[in-house]
Structures are given as structure tokens and as C-alpha cells.
Structure 1
């Protein structure tokens, strides 16, 4: 199945206006990866970001290599089995039909190579000294975080900058990671707003926002899967971007968005950049 990305597929703020929310739901294994008509854009974006930023978009510890190989093999099997209409083997390589590109199956950097097959960014978390730690990542579309600052750090440190995160979610996340089973993958969603349509939203590199600046609704579809052999947790992040005016065509989407923004606590409101976007946001407010 090839998804149409011309209409917002997910609007998580309509299900729950809270910005800080685990929001985990069971995921059918066949629904792990979503492929749509924009996949060529993500493929080219990843290649460009690696040329421009190198270690800023890919980091991996030597100890993570077994988990990288395991994730790459699982992903290859999934794409060929569950999305045979989109992916095919051709001369020992993986061909993506909707993206019209061919990628290697084996490489010295298994996680980076596997990330080129799909639109999602790929992250591996492994237990190190009883703390789940970021040991490998292909991250070309970050949402206001820097891989260089997070690599090799445990979950709690990764989430330190987010206001009120620890009292609200850290203990829950620790329990979830400890008990996640390979047979029970989950999916969750984040949402944000941004100026312009850049996939990589790095901190302190945002464009100046004026009244006429176009805004975009940014949704992250995140999946978490326990790798059965290594016990690592694979974390996939697919970013969807939609012009904010498209929400006007969906009943209740804009009113609930403004309600969610205005009910966000002050510190989190500023962290999410809603204050900086305010001048441009008003033109989208429903009459």
C-alpha cells in the first residue's frame, strides 16, 4: 500500500491536547514502516545531510554493531514481505519503486545504510550500566535536538532540557523500556509547529518569524520495537510536514490546535517555540 501524503494523516493534538504525553498504542507488526509518495524527498535529504553534516546526522558506538545488523535485517525482511509492492530485490540491492532509487543491502555502517531505505530516522537504545543509552542513530530530521549532544547519554539526560518532563514521564518511560517485549511493538505521536518546511529543525537555527511567515504542522510518528536477539530497542521516527492552512479543511482541527497551544504551561510553551511563532500564528486562527 502506498499512502497519499497530500492530506494530513495524523493530527495527534485532536486526540489529546497535552504536549507531554506518552500516548503509547499497540502496533501491528505489518504497520511498522509507512511508505508514501514523498519517500524520494527523504532519501535525497538524508544523502544531502550526510554530505553537509557528517557526524551531526550519524553516530554509532562499536558495541552497537550487533544491534545495527539485527535492525537492518529485520527492516529488510519487513519491507520485502509487508511492502512487496514498494520494495524489490534487484541484483543484490534493494530497489524502492515509489522513490525510484536503489540502495545497498550490506555496508560498513549498517544503521546508516538501512536508514536510506525508508523515510524514517533510526535510533538504537541499549542498556548500559542499567540505563537505556543512545548507542547508534541516523538522525537527519531532528526536532530541535542535536545528535552530538545526545549521543552516548542515557534517556534521562537526553530529556533533561524538556520542562516538567521528569516528574511527568521519566519513571513511566523507565518502566516501559524495562518491560517492552519483542512481540508487542508500540507506536506514539508527537506534534509541533514550525516556520518553513525544513525537515531538520536544529536548535538555535530557526528562521526569523514575521506575520506572513508560512507555518507548518509537524507530526512525528514514532515506533518502539525490542530487537529479540540483542535486546536493544529500535526507535523509528517519521516526520510528516503539512502546511498549516490544510487543517482548515478538517473539521475541528484548527480550533483544537489553538486550544492545545493556549493550554500549554508557560515553560513548555516557550520550549516548543509557540511564543516565537505567535506573530505568524494569528492568521490561521478560526473566525
Structure 2
């Protein structure tokens, strides 16, 4: 089971109902990673996904290795200094106390190894000409994309399937990547729905329509590495049964309004049109709640 039984930590649809938006806000560097008691389940999921899917969840271009090594060094320092209550060295291993697991400090695949320390997926983007290219990633909790389709791709290539991205957001995203400062990392949040609680949501792995709906949130951070100039993109996925939102005040009615307010193309891209039957009981509950 890879979903959280506690109430959602984040409800991003309350602050931004639109799905096609940058939504970047400054992040204190010490908040880069958020360790918690769920880390162990994500660690096991990564090991299972790598065993099952191999290089479909971890890929690298050879030229990315300096950036991988730098990320590994920066991440280890961050975990030991900013989260000393959660992480400690044990010989050649890093021990995650809340997760209850140990992972090697060094490994031939630097980025993959570093990704095993945290719940987040890790992506490295490096400057190539006027854009940035995905040169390495550990991606075990994908949200409807395949790493093998994106590695080596530019920002435009990576986001080409998102309706309206090229005309609305691409120029802004390109500018942001060019001007991101080492000392000014940022964070953003995505929200969506899915049938079932599969964490690694590659295309073709959609849950059946008879499976319960889950509220899926991605906490995404971006920070620049000082030596290589690469941008590190972290993705932490949170999954919650949609039923949890029923008892959270305006959370459910606001979610349904957010779904309906997005353009038809985006609703189709997110699969909301295929969830109409599953959403019907929630619409009735929301209506009853708003009508007293």
C-alpha cells in the first residue's frame, strides 16, 4: 500500500485551480527535502520498480555524471545537516531513522543511489544551447510519462504532450531555468486524480474504473547546483483516498469546481472525463454539504 492514511498535507487545488500554471514560490534551502515516516515505503517501491522495469526508471547520459556526483554530495550534506534527527551515517551506509532503512553512501550509479536516500524522485536538467536537457533521472513514481521517452529531450520536448504548454508556459519556463539562482530554490505543487493507488503511473498503467479514486499531489522543487550549473528537479508524490477530502471543509467542493473550470483539453489530458461515473457520488456529497 503506497498511499497516506493521514489527511493530506497539501491541497494545492485550493490555491490554484488551474492546472496549466507555473505556481513557483521561494523555498528555504533547508526545506528542500521533507523526510517523514513514509520514506521507507517509497524506498521499497524504488527497489521494486528498478527490479521490475530496469532502465525504464533510471537513465543517464554519460555527460551527466559530474552533475550526478555533485547532486549526491549536496544531497548528503543537506540530509545530515538539515535533517540530523532523521539521518545518520553508519559506516558506508546512510541510515534513515523514520524510514527504517539503510542505503549505501557510494555506488557506481550516483544519481540512482542518492535517490534511494529519499522519497523524492530526482531529475537532472543541464543547459544545452538556449534550453535545458534532461540528462539523468531516477523516476519511480511517474505521473503519466515514460522516462525512456524524455531523456535527452529539451524542455519543449518533455512537455510537448501538455495542452497549451508550448504557447502559454514554455517561454516563461525557459526564462526561469536561465535565471534560477543557486541561493534561491523554489517549490511548486501539482494536483490530479487517479483510479487506484499505483504510485508509478506510467502510460498504460491506469487503474480500472472500478477502483477507488485517489487525490494525487506532487511537491516539486527546483534548485541549481553551484559547480555544474545543472538544475535539480525533485518530485515527491502524495496519494490520498479522495474520500478523505469529504470531511475537510471546502476541500471536496473546491476540487470539483477546479476540475470543471479547466479547459476541456486539459480535462481530457488529466483523464477527468473518464472519471465522470466515479466522481458522481462525490458531486452529490458536495452538493449536500453546500446546501446544508
Please confirm whether the aligned pair reaches a TM-score higher than 0.5, indicating the same fold. yes
Q: 1:217 aligns with which of 215, 224, 247?
A: 215
Is 1:139–1:147's contact at 8 Å kept on the other side of the alignment? yes
CA distance in 2, matches of 1:149, 1:46: 19
Structure 2's unaligned 5+ residue stretches are none
1:99 and 2:99 correspond: yes
The aligned residue for residue 201 of structure 1 is 201
CA distance in 2, matches of 1:18, 1:218: 15
The aligned residue for residue 238 of structure 2 is 240
Aligned pair count reads: 282
The aligned residue for residue 156 of structure 1 is 156
The aligned residue for residue 257 of structure 2 is 259
Kindly state the Cα deviation for residue 93 of structure 1 after the two structures are TM-superposed: 1.3
| Cα pair distance change 1:279/1:5, threshold 3 Å | closer
The aligned residue for residue 146 of structure 1 is 146
The aligned residue for residue 178 of structure 1 is 178
Is 1:224–1:234's contact at 8 Å kept on the other side of the alignment? yes
CA distance in 1, matches of 2:26, 2:55: 33
CA distance in 2, matches of 1:51, 1:5: 27
The aligned residue for residue 73 of structure 2 is 73
CA distance in 1, matches of 2:203, 2:274: 13
Cα RMSD, aligned residues only: 1.1
Kindly state the Cα deviation for residue 104 of structure 1 after the two structures are TM-superposed: 0.7
Alignment deviations for residues 249-278 of structure 1 (CA, whole Å, 9 cap, x no partner):
211101110001011111111000001111
What secondary structure, in the 3-state scheme, does the structure 2 residue paired with 1:50 have?
A: helix
Q: TM-score, normalised by structure 2?
A: 0.95
Alignment deviations for residues 167-217 of structure 1 (CA, whole Å, 9 cap, x no partner):
11000000000000000000000000000111011112212214xx31100
The aligned residue for residue 270 of structure 1 is 268
What secondary structure, in the 3-state scheme, does the structure 1 residue paired with 2:184 have?
A: coil
Runs of 4+ deviating beyond 3 Å: none
CA distance in 2, matches of 1:278, 1:53: 32
CA distance in 1, matches of 2:39, 2:205: 25
Is 2:122–2:139's contact at 8 Å kept on the other side of the alignment? yes
What secondary structure, in the 3-state scheme, does the structure 1 residue paired with 2:77 have?
A: helix
Structure 1's unaligned 5+ residue stretches are none
Kindly state the Cα deviation for residue 5 of structure 1 after the two structures are TM-superposed: 6.8
* 1:59-138 equivalences in 2 (<5 Å): 59-138=59-138
Alignment deviations for residues 3-51 of structure 1 (CA, whole Å, 9 cap, x no partner):
x971201010000110111000000011000111111110000000000
